[in-house]
Each structure stands twice: as C-alpha cells, then as structure tokens.
Amino acid sequence: MIGMPYPPLVNNYIEFCRYRKFYNNDGVVDLSKANWLSTTTLLPLVALIKSNGPQFKYIPPKNFNVRAYFSFITGHPPQGKTDSFVPIIRSNRLNDTYLDQIYSLIAKKESSKSGDIQTPIKYVIGELIANIDEHSKCNDSIFMAQNYSKLKFLEGGFFDNGITIPGSFRDAGLLKEGIKDSECIKQATTGTSTKKDGGRGHGLPSTIKILKAMNGDVFIVSGRGALYLNGTDKYVNEDISYDLDEDFALNGTLISFQVHIPIKAVDIYKDDYL
C-alpha cells in the first residue's frame, strides 16, 4: 500500500493484515502487545478465526482490558451486556431490535443535541445489509459497532466472505480487461450497478453520501482493491484508491466507517441523498 501517512481506518485495517501475516507464517496470531483493537481490525480478524475453527491459535493480549474485550467479542455467542458497543453479530440477525440497540448505544445522546440521527443510521445499516444480500453471494457476513466516547467517534462496519465487489462486476460481465479491483470499487461507490435488471445502483453511493454528511469517513476493501472516502480528515484532501498486493488483499469485502462526534443530523429525504 502507498500514500503514507495512512488515515485511521486504513491503519486499523493494516493492523489486521499484520496479525494475519503472523498467522500465515507461524500458525498463531500474536496479540500480546495489543493495546487497542478497533472494529475495522476485529471484523476480518474474527472472520479469520471462524474460518480456521478450533485449530486457530493466538497469544492473548497482556493488557487485561483488551484481553477481556477480545474474549467477549469472540464469544460464541457473546455473553453479557455492554453500554458502548454492539458485539460482532451475523448480519441476518440485525432486525429492528438490534437496530434500536445500536441507535441507543451510539447515537441517542447525540440525537438530542443535533436532531434526527436514528433515521440515517438505520438507513445506512439497512442499505449495507441489502447490498450484501444482493451482490456478495456470501455464506457469512458480520457486523459490529463501537462508540469510542473518549475519542469522540463511533466506528462500525460489515465484513462478508463473498465474491467481492470486483467478483460481482465479473459475474455481471462488467469487468473489462485491465480494470483494477480498486476501480471496480470506485465505480460501485459512484453508482455503477451490477444488478441483472439494470438500472443505477443507489444504495452504496447514498450510504457514503449520508455517512460523509454525518461527519464520517468510509473505508472499503474488496479483493485486491481498497478505497478510502474522506469526509472529515483535515490531512486528506480527496478520496484515496489503493491497489493491494497479497499481504493486504482480502478474500471478501470489508466496509467500515467512523462517524465523528458531534454527529451531524441529516434529513435523508432531502438534499438528494437518495
């Protein structure tokens, strides 16, 4: 990957790639020095754990709080209640009950200050689930959200083990010779649809537009491509595409986002969001 220094979401993904490389080389993930495990790191890491089953080996974090957090997140199923995050859960279980929980955990206080945040959050999550259902052909997809109140942002995201965005373009006959995976991702985020019935793909572009308007940033990794979509980073002037080698490529798709506090309320039915 190029373009250092990396935005925070990109750094969080690179951290996962570092752990995965440990596993590929030594058959064990060394988390002993971890003092921080973000949503963007955890989603593909937990997918890696699940795909390897009982043979997965790791060295737990020495930091007690991080070790307890990791143990909770990777529980089967997670036990107990939290007041700051939604533990990793399969996307097909994200019904209205969980959506209300997500809202109450990560946005309720902010809504009272700035207006309606519940509607756009539910729309974003619903559209990302629909996007996975319609295009990924996955047999598993997972979601997680975390409110980092002291750092004043919330981070959430989805991972699915499907055919990837470039794979979806290939299935639809839209993958022209020489087009890189990063370009497929960029086209998907600007409205190119792979639906067999044609038409323009509004879900992912609308989701990104809303997250940016809410004071957020988005990072997408799929196959050998990645795209960082900047909404708030004062050190980044534009969106950044990445062409990935095998150390950073992903068998599946990760879409993660950080929404910074104060969250900006948006009316998704106005201002051409949908």
- What confidence tens digit (pLDDT) does each residue in 14-29 have? 999 999 999 999 999 9
Q: What is the pTM of this model?
A: 0.90
Enumerate the domain spans of the chain. 8-260
The closest alpha carbon to 224, from 177, 142, 167, 157, belongs to: 167
How far is the C-alpha of 9 from the C-alpha of 139, rounded, in Å?
25
Burial 209-237 (b: 16+ CB within 10 A, else e): bbbbbbbbbbbbbbbbbbbbbbbbeeebe
Residue 229 has pLDDT above 60, yes or no: yes
Predicted confidence at residue 106, as pLDDT, reads 59
Average pLDDT of 118-140? Answer: 88
Residue 212 has pLDDT above 50, yes or no: yes
Average pLDDT of 71-80? Answer: 64
